[in-house]
Amino acid sequence: MSTHEDAREIGTLVHRMFRALDARDFRPGWMLPYATGDARMETPLGDGSGDEAVRAAETALGRYVRTQHIASGLLAEIDGDRATASWNALMTHVHADESAFTVGGVYEGDLVRTHGGWRFERVAVRAVWTRGRPPAGVGGEAGA
């Protein structure tokens, strides 16, 4: 596979993962098409690995009635069966009262090629700016 094809597949993985977050269909194993079973997640709300990290993402998103995650500017560096990627993200979180908490951020990830395709071993998000009211008890930082 060419580096260009790998970068395209990683980009598709990012977009599918964001759509899965917004779809909120959190059946057991929902994250496995996107990350290894022991993947590490690093967020402003805390760090975790594996099932713990998946549950934390579900809890963070569950604070809102709707979310929309948009990715742009993906940069991927491929080295055989390993890769790193980074991209900009615009994350909109809608409260029950319809007010929005919006976050502009940067994601970074470490990936590994598996039999099922590229999967994240680590995903980290850093908030660059926020606007609106975060959920109670969170301060000015973003969830997932």
**pLDDT band at residue 127 using 50, 70 and 90 as cut-offs:** very high
Q: Is residue 137, in this structure, part of any structural domain at all?
A: no
- Lowest average pLDDT, out of 24-28, 111-115, 126-130, goes to 24-28
Q: Is residue 143, in this structure, part of any structural domain at all?
A: no
Q: Is residue 31, in this structure, part of any structural domain at all?
A: yes
The contacts found for 22-31 with CB under 8 angstroms, 24 or more apart, are 22/66, 22/67, 22/68, 22/69, 24/61, 24/62, 24/67, 26/58, 30/54, 31/57
Enclosing domain of residue 35: 3-131
142 pLDDT more than 50:
no
pLDDT of residue 144: 54
Q: Is residue 91, in this structure, part of any structural domain at all?
A: yes
103 pLDDT more than 50:
yes
Please state, rounded to an integer, the average pLDDT across all residues of the chain: 93
> What phi, psi does 49 have (nearest 5°)?
-135, 155
What is the count of structural domains for the chain? 1
Q: What is the pTM of this model?
A: 0.90
Q: Is residue 67, in this structure, part of any structural domain at all?
A: yes
- Lowest average pLDDT, out of 7-11, 69-73, 80-84, 139-143, goes to 139-143
pLDDT of residue 42: 96
CATH number at residue 86: 3.10.450.50
97 pLDDT more than 80:
yes
Q: Is residue 139, in this structure, part of any structural domain at all?
A: no
Q: Is residue 11, in this structure, part of any structural domain at all?
A: yes
> What pLDDT digit, counting tens, does each position of 8-28 carry?
999 999 999 999 999 999 999
141 pLDDT more than 50:
no
Q: Residues of the chain with pLDDT > 90: what percent?
A: 85
